[in-house]
């Protein structure tokens, strides 16, 4: 069963037809060629596929593409470019917040949500905010360092 859909991804509007069972993660990667969103566990545990759905972080592997009909999606490609990194990306680079890089897009999108919406005043809050993303290089300390700097720049959430 296929459905027509329209959605906005990183500010661009796409219209097309999708299979009902196509996951949003596979739609972004295979249909739109946005392979920055990584697919790890495919059952919502690892966080690698995290994107923003209408401004809030969501697992794209637990979301059907058709559910995003009419929605606004942000992916890692929307954060910056190789020649002009976004602020969260630059903080990761400055603090060596990535090793193999597989988990990084999910972390970047989760952190983007947390910087907009969550208190990150203590390391405990930062670690809780990151707890849904797994880094199998176990480079958590440097990721926490990056978020600590981003949170300091942002200041306390009003």
Could you list the residues that contact other proteins (CB under 8 A)? 1, 3, 19-23, 26, 42-44, 47, 50, 56-59, 61-64, 66-67, 69, 110, 113-114, 118, 128-129, 131-132
Give 86 or 132: the residue with its C-beta nearer to other proteins: 132
Whether the Cβ atoms of residue 71 and residue 119 lie closer than 8 Å to each other: no
The residues with which 50 forms a beta bridge, in sequence order, are 59
CB of 89 to other proteins, least distance (A): 19
User: Which residue, 42 or 77, is less far from other proteins as judged by CB?
Assistant: 42
Residue environment code for 31-70, b if the CB has 16+ CB neighbours within 10 A, otherwise e? ebebebbbbbeeeeebbbbbbbbeeebbbbbebbbbbbee
CB of 39 to other proteins, least distance (A): 10
């Amino acid at each position: 069963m296929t459905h027509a859909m329209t959605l906005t991804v990183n500010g661009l509007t796409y219209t097309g037809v999708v299979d009902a069972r196509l996951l949003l993660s596979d739609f972004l990667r295979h249909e739109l060629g946005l392979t920055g969103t990584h697919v790890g566990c495919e059952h919502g545990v690892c966080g690698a596929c995290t994107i923003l759905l209408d401004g809030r972080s969501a697992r794209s592997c637990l979301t059907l593409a058709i559910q995003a009909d009419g929605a606004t999606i942000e992916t890692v490609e929307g954060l910056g470019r190789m020649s002009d990194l976004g602020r969260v990306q630059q903080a990761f680079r400055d603090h060596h917040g990535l090793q193999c890089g597989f988990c990084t897009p999910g972390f970047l999108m989760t952190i983007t949500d947390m910087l907009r919406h969550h208190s990150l005043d203590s390391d405990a809050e930062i670690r809780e905010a990151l707890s849904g993303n797994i880094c199998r290089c176990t480079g958590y300390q440097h990721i926490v360092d990056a978020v600590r700097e981003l949170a300091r720049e942002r200041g306390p959430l009003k």
